[in-house]
């Protein structure tokens, strides 16, 4: 069913099951090894820099895009001291000391159980986020989904996001599950808000402190957001913070971190004030036929097919537009898609409202 209204779309944008809370997903030793890899192999770039090349691409992944005045924003409008790196990608663990963490039998069982006892599960990616104290004005978003033939390794983040929000491509949606774990030893906000019944329904909240606490979830089909975190006095971004700023371990010793732009130190952040997130992802298959359909490419999407389907749907909606020569990079077309399929959460937790600047 193709959704014809915001309510129908909201009803479709729900995970296969509600998030399942997991206590102590990692041992102390595993946590120390993961942090050790981050310290050894930095500096690390902003999440923003990893995934986006233009304002229009960022807007396509967020909510409320239809209300944004594009003439008044730039990439700097979305800056936040949130940094990312990868422990594993495309099914390959990148660091020998983390093999037991990525190829985690307990997590694989979590993934199979979450999908109602699926027969097979395969880890394919593991990343981390380091969130320095910040306001975090995220209204709620979906993680980028994957589809047969098109996923994060061959398709821009913005397009995957709009494909997911449109509801047009659900028959090709990959079955995935994530184990997302936080290490944030504070009760100053910093929790996890999520909308398991759709963005127009009431949210639920996993409140901080969140030290070694996680969820098994399908974040590509559930609106969610990280809440503001860290001491409120440190939430303003330091002078000189920009798209090219990085984070690395403090070279002066201790367990802290340093935010830099080039060689210029902008701010030092204590270990206790950093919000750590570890995101483990697996693909799940109901049976061998399901797995064969995926890896033998028996029913794949292509960019040409996807844009043809978008064009057909836009015309069915009576929207006037010209088909661009290169819809993958045309900023006007990206904006049109993001505004057409925009849907925003309608309510927020009273303790942490829509825009908590701290």
Q: Domain ranges in the chain?
A: 6-340
Residue 76 has pLDDT above 70, yes or no: no
pLDDT of residue 358: 37
For residues 63 and 338, what is the distance between their CA atoms, to the nearest angstrom? 9
User: What is the DSSP secondary structure assignment for residue 147, as one 8-state letter?
Assistant: B
Contact 57, 156 (CB under 8 A): yes
The model's pLDDT over 99-129, given as tens digits with 9 standing for 90+, comes to 999 999 999 999 999 999 999 999 999 999 9
Q: Residue 312 half-sphere exposure, CB side, CA atoms within 13 Å?
A: 8
DSSP states of 169-182: TGGGBPPEEEEEEE
The model's pLDDT over 122-161, given as tens digits with 9 standing for 90+, comes to 999 999 999 999 987 788 889 999 999 999 889 998 999 9
The model's pLDDT over 59-71, given as tens digits with 9 standing for 90+, comes to 666 665 555 555 5
pTM to 2 decimals? 0.91
Residues 6+ apart with CB under 8 A from 68: 59
In whole numbers, what is the pLDDT of the chain averaged over residues? 91
Q: Tell me: domain 6-340, CATH 2.60.120.620, correct?
A: yes
- Taking the CA atoms of 300, 301, 305 and 310 in sequence, report the sign of the dihedral they define: positive
Confidence of residue 356 (pLDDT cuts 50, 70, 90): very low
For residues 162 and 276, what is the distance between their CA atoms, to the nearest angstrom? 28
Percentage, residues of the chain above pLDDT 70: 90
Please name which of 216, 39, 52 lies closest in space to residue 130, comparing C-alpha atoms: 39
Q: Is 8 exposed, middle or buried (0-12, 13-18, 19+ CB in 10 A)?
A: middle
Average pLDDT estimate for 242-269: 95
pLDDT of residue 48: 83
The model's pLDDT over 175-212, given as tens digits with 9 standing for 90+, comes to 999 999 999 999 888 999 999 999 999 999 999 999 99
Pick the more confident residue, 307 or 349.
307
Contact 61, 141 (CB under 8 A): yes
pLDDT of residue 63: 60
For residues 298 and 134, what is the distance between their CA atoms, to the nearest angstrom? 45
Percentage, residues of the chain above pLDDT 90: 78
Bond preceding residue 23 cis, omega within 30 of 0: no
Confidence of residue 58 (pLDDT cuts 50, 70, 90): low
For residues 328 and 304, what is the distance between their CA atoms, to the nearest angstrom? 10
Pick the more confident residue, 135 or 311.
311
The model's pLDDT over 12-49, given as tens digits with 9 standing for 90+, comes to 999 999 999 999 999 999 999 999 999 999 999 999 88
Q: Is 350 exposed, middle or buried (0-12, 13-18, 19+ CB in 10 A)?
A: exposed
The model's pLDDT over 315-340, given as tens digits with 9 standing for 90+, comes to 999 999 999 999 999 999 999 999 99
């Amino acid at each position: 069913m193709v959704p014809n209204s915001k309510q129908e779309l909201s009803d479709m944008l729900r995970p296969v099951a509600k998030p399942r809370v997991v206590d102590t997903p990692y041992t102390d030793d595993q946590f120390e090894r993961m942090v050790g890899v981050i310290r050894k192999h930095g500096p690390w770039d902003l999440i923003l820099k990893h995934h986006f090349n233009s304002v229009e691409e960022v807007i396509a992944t967020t909510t409320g895009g239809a209300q944004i005045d594009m003439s008044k924003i730039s990439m700097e409008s979305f800056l936040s001291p949130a940094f990312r790196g990868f422990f594993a990608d495309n099914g390959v663990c990148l660091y020998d000391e983390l093999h037991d963490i990525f190829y985690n039998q307990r997590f694989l069982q979590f993934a199979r159980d979450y999908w109602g006892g699926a027969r097979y599960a395969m880890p394919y990616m593991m990343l981390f986020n380091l969130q320095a104290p910040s306001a975090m004005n995220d209204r709620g978003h979906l993680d980028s989904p994957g589809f047969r033939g098109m996923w994060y390794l061959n398709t821009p983040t913005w397009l995957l996001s709009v494909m997911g929000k449109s509801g047009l491509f659900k028959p090709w949606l990959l079955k995935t599950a994530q184990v997302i774990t936080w290490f944030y030893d504070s009760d100053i906000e910093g929790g996890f808000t999520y909308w398991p019944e759709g963005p127009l329904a009431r949210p639920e909240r996993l409140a901080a402190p969140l030290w070694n606490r996680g969820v098994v979830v399908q974040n590509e089909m559930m609106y969610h957001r990280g809440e503001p975190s860290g001491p409120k006095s440190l939430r303003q971004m330091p002078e000189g913070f920009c798209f090219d700023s990085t984070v690395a371990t403090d070279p002066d010793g201790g367990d802290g971190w340093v935010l830099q732009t080039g060689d210029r130190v902008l701010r030092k952040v204590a270990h206790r004030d950093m919000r750590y997130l570890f995101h483990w992802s697996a693909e799940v298959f109901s049976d061998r036929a399901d797995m064969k359909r995926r890896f033998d490419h028996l029913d794949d999407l292509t960019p040409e097919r996807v844009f043809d389907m978008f064009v057909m749907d836009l015309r069915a909606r009576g929207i006037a537009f010209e088909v661009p020569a290169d819809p993958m990079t045309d900023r006007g077309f990206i904006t049109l898609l993001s505004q057409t399929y925009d849907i925003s959460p309608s309510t927020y937790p009273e303790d942490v409202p829509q825009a908590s600047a701290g």
